[in-house]
Amino acid sequence: MGRKYSLILSQYKNLYTSRMKLRPFSMEDRKDVFEFAGDEEATKFVTWEAHKSIDQSANSILNYYSRGGVYAIELKENKKCIGCFDIRIDSENDKASFGYILNRQYWNKGYMTEVLDLMLKLCFDVLKLNRVEAEHYTENPGSGRVMQKCNMKFEGRGIQEVKVKGIYHDIDHYAILKSDWIKYNTEKDVVN
C-alpha cells in the first residue's frame, strides 16, 4: 500500500453503516474473534487454519488485524465484533482487492453486503481508486452473491487456481470499475 493511501486510511479508522461500525481491532475483541476464527465452517474458505485458542486469536489481533486497512466489523446494537474486512491497495495500479470473514451466526442477514457497499464507497469516493476486485471459491457462492449485490461483475473462473489446505479450488473473479460505481450510484439516486 502506498504512503498516500496509508495516510488517507489512517484518517478513516472508523466507518459507519446503519447497523455497523467498522473500526480498528482491540484486545477486547479476542473472544469475538475466536468465535469466527475458531469456527471450522466459517474458516472453510480462508487460507489460514481455524484458531485453536483465544490466545491464537489475540496473537492474530496483534500481528495481523492491527495493520492498516483491516477493520473489525462491530454491530452497533451490542458492540459485538462479528467479523473482519481487509482491504489491500495496489497503489501502482490504483486498485484494491479485499477479503472478509463473518461469524456464521450472522450470515444471510445482509451485513456483509452493507459493509462491502460502504467499502466500495471508500475506495471510489475517498481513495479515488479506479478498480476494486475480489475472488471467491466456487464452493462458496454466498460470497459471490455479496459481490453481485454490490454490482461487481463476474470476470471469469480459474479452474483449480489455488491449492489451499491441500485441496485445489476453482476461483471466481469479480470486479467493479469507478465508472460503473458512479453510474450505479447515479441511477440509485434517481430511483430513490
Summarize pLDDT for 47-95 with one digit per residue, the tens.
Answer: 888 999 999 999 999 998 888 889 999 999 999 999 999 999 999 999 9
Report the distance separating Cα 79 and Cα 97, nearest Å: 27
pLDDT in tens, 13-52: 899 999 999 999 999 999 999 999 999 988 888 888 899 9
So what's the pLDDT on residue 48?
85
Rg (CA), the chain: 16
Q: Which residue has the cell 495481523?
A: 64
| Whether the predicted pLDDT of 191 surpasses 60 | no
Q: How far apart are the first and last CA of the chain?
A: 36
| Whether the predicted pLDDT of 3 surpasses 50 | yes
What is the chain's mean pLDDT, rounded?
A: 91
| Whether the predicted pLDDT of 185 surpasses 90 | no
Taking the CA atoms of residue 18, residue 32, residue 134 and residue 95 in that order, the dihedral angle to the nearest 10 degrees is 70
CATH of domain 3-191: 3.40.630.30
Give which of 83, 185, 187 is closest to 143, Cα–Cα. Answer: 83
CA 39 to each of CA 24, 55, 115: distance values in angstroms, whole numbers, following the listed order: 22, 15, 21
Domain ranges of the chain: 3-191
So what's the pLDDT on residue 68?
82
- As given in the structure block, the three cell numbers for residue 29 are 475483541
